[in-house]
Amino acid sequence: MNIASWLHHTGLVRPDAPAIRAGAALHATYREFAFRAWAVGEHLKAAYGVGHGDHVALFARNCPEYLEMLYGVLWTGATVVPINNKLHPREAAWIIENAEAKLAITETGDVYGPPDELGGHCAEVGIRAEEFATAVASAPAGAYKPPVATAEDDTAWLFYTSGTTGRPKGVMVTHRNLRMMATTYALDVDTVSASDHSLYAAPMSHGAGLYNFQFVRAGACHVIPASQGFDPAEIRQLAESLGNLVFFAAPTMITRLVRYAEANAYDGAGIRTITFGGGPMYLADITRALDVFGPKFVHVYGQGESPMTITSMARDLVADRTHPNADARRASVGTAQACVELRVVDDAMHDRPVGETGEVVVRGDTVMKGYWKNDKATAETVVDGWLKTGDLGRLDADGFLTLTDRSKDVIISGGTNIYPREVEEALLTHDGVLEASVIGCPHPDWGEEVVAFVVLTKGSTCDAGTLEEWCRSQIASFKKPKRYIFVPELPKNSYGKILKTSLRERTAPLIEDV
């Protein structure tokens, strides 16, 4: 079943319901949304030969037309290739060429020059090109047809991983994957209703965009901020004027929103739910957010290879402070979602005992079809149906998963494993520390030593000696950083994840001094 059939259904059942808003202004009802998607799809077929199985790249900022283009592509039975607009055009061009896209829908239509910039086989058109408006205006009124039928395992969404350690890989997400993801949302993440306003403050090429499907099916309204991004003051204005605001946010976005709220006496009025994931949310940060906004937060953990659907922790569990293990649960990523099985295993894929660290593996209907044109990586990553996430964690007796680190980030010093997140958690409990990231730096005697990059809060006078004493009071001595490097900010990729590869490059000159 083509996932676009959900929009076709809602366009018939709730034709006059508000579907898309540009800021607070109505952009389209569901009848108009569905009609435009169909008309765009018809134009893509006629003008560019787009059809079932073709790939169409979408490289643009968040805007109302983004959803219309996304569904227009899906309507034809083609695969959409969403690309984060924060990437450099050369990085996006590599993805477009690797994906063998037939068409690239870009911000302006002239991001690239001659066709050979995109491999010679790909055309380019602007997301607001006049030809789309003409196609919609000239289509027979009210005559839109259902989407092209697709198989369950046809690829709907080709998602390219962020590629912090090398070239990104294309994750083939099927129509079944998306349907299971969206259905499970209502079971394990949050309720969905037609009165919701789903805000897109994070890139629609990523988790925020993936979460559109359940809201389309329910007939909820999609809100694209006028800023086309994340602005705490704008979010407050939209929340207070529209109400029932729900949105996905990275932990760094929540931190910014909390700072704004504290400085402007905002208690989160109008916000119903903030679902967060995509990076570590430290215990101190989520506790602070709860103090400011109350029980509005839901935690999800997933990967592109199992989008948004490995674990979740509902708002009442995130907010709970009465359970004997309340803090440990809040520091976890929750329990397995209903659509998957979850294990923590050793290198031989044997289950690790409760409380002991191993690699997180997951199996279920949301696990990807595989990597595009990369059978070797697929075989290495999906073993007997189990997705090897590359994340390390431990399960408690109640099934709560606590992530310790990415396997490649573990520090081995003197033969002992040190998990950077434990050290980062300790540093972040100090009032003078705003952000922290911990890496291993080569050492001639110990193999590696712990190095902490620290961003201080405004006005903080913290120094290395202060943090040394603090860590001594919080964690085992062998885990303490041996070096502290104070920086104005931490390097992050376009999704807000800290780039530890960049931090390692910065420590390279230090190795010569050891």
Is residue 88 included in any domain, yes or no? no
- What's the predicted TM-score (pTM) here? 0.84
Residue-level pLDDT at 414: 67
The pLDDT mean for the chain works out to 92
Please state, in angstroms and rounded to a whole number, the distance separating the CA atoms of residues 30 and 28: 7
In this structure, what CATH number is given to the domain that contains residue 434? Answer: 3.30.300.30
152, 171, 177, 181, 430 from 372: Cα distances, Å: 17, 6, 16, 20, 44
Is residue 161 included in any domain, yes or no? no
The enclosing H or E element of 236 equals helix 232-242
- Are 232 and 261 spatial neighbours (Cβ–Cβ below 8 Å)? yes
Q: Strand 297-303 relative to strand 271-276: parallel, antiparallel, unpaired?
A: parallel
Closest CA to 96 of 126, 122, 64, 77: 122
pLDDT at 407 over 70: no
Is residue 484 included in any domain, yes or no? yes
Torsional class of 496: left (φ above 0), alpha (ψ -120 to 50), beta (otherwise): left
Residue 162 — very low, low, confident or very high, per pLDDT cuts 50/70/90?
low
Is residue 502 included in any domain, yes or no? yes
pLDDT at 272 over 80: yes
Give the residue, 416 or 188, on which the prediction is more confident.
188
136, 184, 211 from 11: Cα distances, Å: 16, 23, 18
What integer is the mean pLDDT of 91-109?
A: 95
- Are 215 and 237 spatial neighbours (Cβ–Cβ below 8 Å)? no
Q: State the residue range of the domain holding 475.
A: 410-511
Is residue 483 included in any domain, yes or no? yes
Is residue 479 included in any domain, yes or no? yes
pLDDT at 164 over 70: no
At which residue do the structure tokens 């949301």 appear? Answer: 366
pLDDT at 387 over 50: yes
> How many domains does the structure of the chain reveal?
1
Please, what's the largest Cα pairwise distance for the chain?
Answer: 75
What integer is the mean pLDDT of 363-386?
A: 97
At which residue do the structure tokens 């018809």 appear? Answer: 42
Is residue 77 included in any domain, yes or no? no
Residue 164: exposure state from Cβ atoms within 10 A (0-12, 13-18, ≥19): middle
Q: Strand 447-456 relative to strand 483-486: parallel, antiparallel, unpaired?
A: parallel
At which residue do the structure tokens 């059809």 appear? Answer: 51
Contacts of 362 (CB under 8 A, 6+ apart): 306, 310, 336, 340, 341, 342, 343, 386, 387, 389
Backbone angles phi, psi at 401, to 5 degrees: -100, 125
Is residue 440 included in any domain, yes or no? yes
Please state, in angstroms and rounded to a whole number, the distance separating the CA atoms of residues 501 and 511: 15
Residue-level pLDDT at 166: 58
Contacts of 476 (CB under 8 A, 6+ apart): none
In the DSSP assignment, the letter for residue 498 is B
